[in-house]
Amino acid sequence: MRSGEWACYGAGLVCSGFFVSQLAVGEVDRRSDIAAFENLQAAVAETPAPGSDLPAASDALPERLASLPIDAIPAPDTALWSPGRIADYQASLQQALPPVLGILNLPSLALELPVYSTDSELTMDRGAGVIDGMAYPHEGGNIGIAGHRDGYFRALKDIQPGDPIVLQTLFGPKHFTVDHTRIVEIEDTHVLADTDEQRLTLVTCYPFYFVGHAPQRFVVTASLDNTYVNRN
């Protein structure tokens, strides 16, 4: 009986060690991917582009973005993640990802993650994604970014009006301030409409803790902080 207990303890330690090692490797890859984006950002800065932006969301992405190396992107803190989302993340580690167009940093939540060019299930398992049809991080208008409520964006449950958000883009940082949060029905898409002024809209499913397909959306709206010079 005692030998069986020790065997169970040993198996548990092995499994725990494997899980921790996977997270550690993922964290190294996350930092590597952010560094790769910063290198691309520097390269873009050295190459003058027509106007201040890259092509609009409806246009093809530049070839130089398609070559950006992509690695595993884990959550900074998986304590908030659901077991199913952790399993989805682990299953996604071998999948190829689209270009990273920005780095989203929410200091009040200790959250930093890559923003991919589309909001597929895969990209939201590994970070966040630009909502199809909305502005990219380097563009003007309404930048829409989506993430999973039981993964990276579960941290949004603690965000407050007045909190700062920094969005690193290919042409430098954009600083935003949270105006308000709201809960909308899934059919309500007016928050995704384009705007003349620069705006950042973060979207995730709601309620944050819900079994099955969540019936609503949690929306964070932030405006550009005019105290900063870079407004592209």
Per-residue pLDDT tens for 83-113? 877 777 777 767 777 888 999 999 999 999 9
On the question of pLDDT at 37 being above 70, the answer is no
Measured distance CA(149)–CA(151) in Å, rounded:
6
Cα radius of gyration rounded to whole Å, the chain: 19
Q: Is 136 exposed, middle or buried (0-12, 13-18, 19+ CB in 10 A)?
A: buried
CB 174 within 8 A of CB 116: no
pTM of the model: 0.70
On the question of pLDDT at 66 being above 50, the answer is no
Measured distance CA(212)–CA(86) in Å, rounded:
16
Measured distance CA(146)–CA(40) in Å, rounded:
23
Token code pair at residue 217: 């959306």
> What pLDDT score was predicted for residue 176?
97
On the question of pLDDT at 216 being above 80, the answer is yes
On the question of pLDDT at 54 being above 80, the answer is no
Give the chain's domains with CATH numbers: 2-224 (2.40.260.10)
> What pLDDT score was predicted for residue 22?
46
CB 29 within 8 A of CB 36: no
> What pLDDT score was predicted for residue 98?
85
CA distances 218 to 136, 191, 204, Å, are 20, 11, 5
- The letter for the amino acid at 216 is Q
> What pLDDT score was predicted for residue 19?
45
Q: Which of 159, 172, 179 is nearest to 228 (CA)?
A: 172
CB 127 within 8 A of CB 148: no
What b/e string do you get for 198-215 counting C-beta neighbours within 10 Å, with b at 16 or more? bbbbbbbbbebeeeeebe
Token code pair at residue 176: 């935003």
On the question of pLDDT at 227 being above 70, the answer is yes
On the question of pLDDT at 46 being above 80, the answer is no
Residues 126-153 pLDDT 10s: 889 999 999 999 999 999 999 999 899 9
On the question of pLDDT at 157 being above 60, the answer is yes
In degrees to the nearest 10, what's the CA dihedral of 49, 54, 60, 62?
50
Q: Which of 105, 98, 143, 158 is nearest to 124 (CA)?
A: 98
Measured distance CA(154)–CA(79) in Å, rounded:
10
Residue 211: pLDDT band (50, 70, 90) is: confident
Section 40-67 average pLDDT: 45
> What pLDDT score was predicted for residue 95?
77
**3-class DSSP assignment, residue 203:** strand
